[in-house]
A and B are shown apart, each in its own frame.
Chain A
Amino acid sequence: QKEVEQDPGPLSVPEGAIVSLNCTYSNSAFQYFMWYRQYSRKGPELLMYTYSSGNKEDGRFTAQVDKSSKYISLFIRDSQPSDSATYLCAMSAYDTDKLIFGTGTRLQVFP
């Protein structure tokens, strides 16, 4: 079993929809949780970063961490075609620089 599981998609939604992207994990030591966005033929770029449990909002993006369920989510409000990309979750324990990535979910937002 992988430490981090992520549905590969693709997830196809109409413009303006609310998108929910999710990851589950098995290592209870994970404290740092990140979401990366990767456009086609580009490298990943850090989108959101959260520490421990709770929510974090940045514009149309909200990251949510539920440590009791070992489940993290990324919500995208008012989705745009420019949001079409692969979204990768990544996480790390407190005392290590080792980052464990999910395999990524491909999102397509059509006009």
Chain B
Amino acid sequence: KAGVTQTPRYLIKTRGQQVTLSCSPISGHRSVSWYQQTPGQGLQFLFEYFSETQRNKGNFPGRFSGRQFSNSRSEMNVSTLELGDSALYLCASSLVPRTSGRDEQFFGPGTRLTVL
């Protein structure tokens, strides 16, 4: 069974631009979560989508947004990019929405975003 796929794998943008990242979950998985990973802060939760609806949102500014399509694929958008947005953006999928810390999620390889 194919794992979580993310495109593109690497991206270079300049300040002020916007970017869209894509995530395809494992087949049959309907919940998709997005994380930002940086050396200083580690993994930080951005948001989770299930059935095209945002279930949870982390503590990030409104420049970060996402959506989920009927086939469970998800996109994440960052507008007006800042230097501090440079990070690895990870997508994770699970069969159903995570309701507990013990629910397992499967991560994709991430998209490395560099903002110049």
Q: In the complex the two chains form, is B102's CB within 8 Å of A103's CB?
A: no
Q: In the complex the two chains form, is A43's CB within 8 Å of B109's CB?
A: yes
User: Please, which residues of chain B bring their CB within 8 A of the CB of A32?
Assistant: 100-102
Question: Can you list, as one digit per residue, whether each of B63-106 has a CB less than 8 Å from chain A (1) or not (0)?
Answer: 00000000000000000000000000010100001111111101
Query: Total number of A-B contacts with CB less than 8 angstroms?
Result: 62
Q: What range describes how many residues of A lie at the interface?
A: 20 to 34
B56 proximal to A (CB < 8 A): yes
User: Please, which residues of chain B bring their CB within 8 A of the CB of A96?
Assistant: 100-101
* A96 CA / B48 CA spacing, docked (Å): 14
- The A82-111 residues at the B interface (CB cut-off 8 A) are 88, 90-99, 101-104
Nearest chain B CB to A74's CB is how many angstroms away?
16
Q: In the complex the two chains form, is A104's CB within 8 Å of B99's CB?
A: no
A31 proximal to B (CB < 8 A): yes
Known: A45-B107, A101-B44. 9 other contacts (CB 8 A): A32-B102, A41-B109, A43-B107, A44-B43, A45-B106, A94-B100, A95-B100, A99-B45, A103-B39
